[in-house]
Amino acid sequence: MLIDGKVALVTGGSRGIGRQIVETFLENGAVVHSFSRSAGDDLPRMQETYGSDRLIHHAVDVGDEEAVSAAVTRVLEQSGRVDILVNNAGITRDGLIMRMSTEDWRSVMDVNLGSAFYTARALARPMIKQRSGAIINITSVVGLIGNAGQANYAASKAGLVGFTKSLAREVASRNVRVNAIAPGFIETEMTDRLNGDQRETLTTQIPMGRIGTAEEIAKVCVFLASDMASYITGEVITVGGGLAM
């Protein structure tokens, strides 16, 4: 029970890595608010297991500034505080730059980077006032090393790195920690789109020789959210089987 009694807000909790973070936080004693457009299949199941007072789903498009602001206000009314914020929601709209539409650029920036700004801005003041908080931004190895066909995605994820370090410096003296996790290739719907050949080529580039699991990201997330990481801020922890070392 690493985060027993803590209140967490996780974006993109309906599927993939976010869904696993929600479950791992519940297993470790937290009350979890999840922001995503849909509840998916798993959030209702987890509500049955852990109770609808422990897991609250908010139907929110995190790229919509006003919707995020209203939902954060609801969370603070319901739980009185937020101790942990995980900015995990993310999308891809891949394409070579010559063919990338402005819409594909903007939607990726809004959902992947804008959302972290909207949630963190809304929660910075309450966290500073309570003199504690942990913010974790889910970036990507692609934000560190780039990837052809993902200029929008890589820019949004590199942006999250600068955002993490700047915010960490702003709030460190008030005991609010801000860190990022950069996953490598993780088995989720986002990577399901890769065909067999792409998967094989990718796997040969990973020193550990395999794609990672959502559990392997969620474990690092609960560590960073907990007091075990009480002196860690402004860091980007790569969890990628050695992919970006």
Contacts to ligand NAP by CB under 6 A = 11-18, 35-38, 40, 60-63, 88-91, 111, 138, 140, 183, 185-186, 188-191
Smallest separation (angstroms) from ligand NAP to the CB of 245:
16
In the beta sheet, which residues pair with residue 87?
137
Amino acid at the residue 79: S
Judge whether 167 and 116 are in contact, CB under 8 Å: no
CA distance 40 to 96: 31
Closer to ligand NAP by CB, 90 or 133: give it: 90
CA dihedral 15, 21, 24, 25 (to 10 degrees): -120
Judge whether 2 and 202 are in contact, CB under 8 Å: no
Judge whether 8 and 14 are in contact, CB under 8 Å: no
Residue 92, CA distances (Å) to 157, 161, 194, 196 in order: 11, 17, 13, 19
Query: Is 153 one of the annotated active-site residues of the chain?
Result: yes
Helix (H, G, I), strand (E, B) or coil at 212: strand
Judge whether 240 and 44 are in contact, CB under 8 Å: no
Smallest separation (angstroms) from ligand NAP to the CB of 216:
11
Tokens coding 4: 């027993």
What element of type H or E holds 98?
none
Q: Which residues are catalytic?
A: 153
